[in-house]
Amino acid sequence: MLHATIAGLGRGSARDRPRGARRGGRRQTKVHALNSGNPGFLWTVLSFLLVIGPLIFIHELGHYLVGRWFGVKAEVFSIGFGRELAGWTDRRGTRWKLCWLPLGGYVKFAGDMNPASQPSAEWLALPPEERARTFQAKPVWQRFLIVAAGPVTNFLLAILIFCGFLMAYGEPRTPAVIAAIEPGSAAAAAGLRPGDRITAIDGSAIGRFEDIANYVVLRPGERLRISYQRDGRAGETVAVAKAAVERDNFGNQFKRGKLGVGPGARVLEPVSIGGALSGGVRMTGQIVSTTVEGLEQIITGRRSVKELGGPLKIAKFSGEQASLGILAFLWFVAVISINLGFINLLPIPMLDGGHLLLYAIEGVRRKPLRPEAQEWAFRTGLAALLALMVFVTLNDLASFGLLTKLGGLID
């Protein structure tokens, strides 16, 4: 099974971070002052490895543990692709290895002898007791769970990280009441006033002030239908979110929708363990939703493809977030873990989602697709992944200005 790490979408909104983890929060003011420039190359590479290496390991460990639970022998557990740099073989016969290209990883189960996981002559020749320990011998529902375990583990890691933030700092639950309106803003043009309580935007319920920013930020220049309460009466208006270009301390620009409303005193409420877990699940779901909507906007042309990032951009952001301190770095790890899980669930052959789709078809048909059809699907999926990898890499290089510089040298 192949698991590529190629996306950098959905970095998350800083507005929904606990105060201690915010870029402008008191706990990191000194860090900002010391790190207003870009981190060095070695720091960036080290930070990237500290992000992507553990996340790939966690992902593959999910496959490995569920496979062991169902009695499947793992022959290889690899972090990275290509030539082996270091490794060892445990007493169960699993080869654990680290390879030179750390952009993915895989677990090779016994019996998983080709991309389509189809029986081969070699598999059929195995003794019955040994064949029973192979991946292909297991029923389709067990194979489905083994493959799904990787992305699920990435989501669980993010939930636990968010849970830790919520336990440490509390959960933002600022009332959705407007305390201030920016002159000339979208809210002012729409007739909103201080004291109005926003109850819904485009039919989506607003329970706290933080929900307003989370919804508006992805919709620059779009018409928003805002429901509110004023003096006990319900009202509705339409606002066009202004497109604001924000720049962080590292020179990165982000296009965000802006309504122009401000809250009263921000509220952070302590939460129980159960509340923190449910909050972690909700925050993970919000980032997945943000990623899906961001992709949809890129596909439909509402957002530039320049915002689609690959490994190079992930590396750049890794170094930047690590330079801001452990809290910002952990938040970034959680967001990238969600992206890794999400990307691998896409129904593209060669990714986990492609395997899951084929297993779902097999479960409905009570038999797998013909080997020729599966082989064709996996070849197509591999070509699509390679094309996407080339595209996002060129996109990253263009965002760094390297292609322009190279063009100038050629001229």
User: DSSP characters for 27-78?
Assistant: GGHHHHHH--SPPPHHHHHHHHHHHHHHHHHHHHHHHHHHHHHTTPPEEEEE
Of 295, 287, 214, nearest to 256 by C-alpha is: 214
Q: Are 317 and 11 in contact (CB under 8 A)?
A: yes
Which residues, in sequence order, are bridge partners of residue 254? Answer: 246
Tally of CA atoms within 13 A in the half-sphere of 265 that contains its CB? 3
Taking the C-alpha atoms of residue 196 and residue 352, their distance in angstroms, rounded to an integer, is 47
Burial 8-19 (b: 16+ CB within 10 A, else e): bbbbbbbebbbe
60 is catalytic: yes
Q: Do the bridges between strand 171-172 and strand 268-269 make them parallel or antiparallel, or are there none, so unpaired?
A: antiparallel
> Diameter of the chain by CA atoms?
79
Q: Out of 60, 210, 307, 320, pick the active-site residue.
A: 60
CB atoms within 10 A of CB 387: 10
Residues with catalytic annotation? Answer: 60
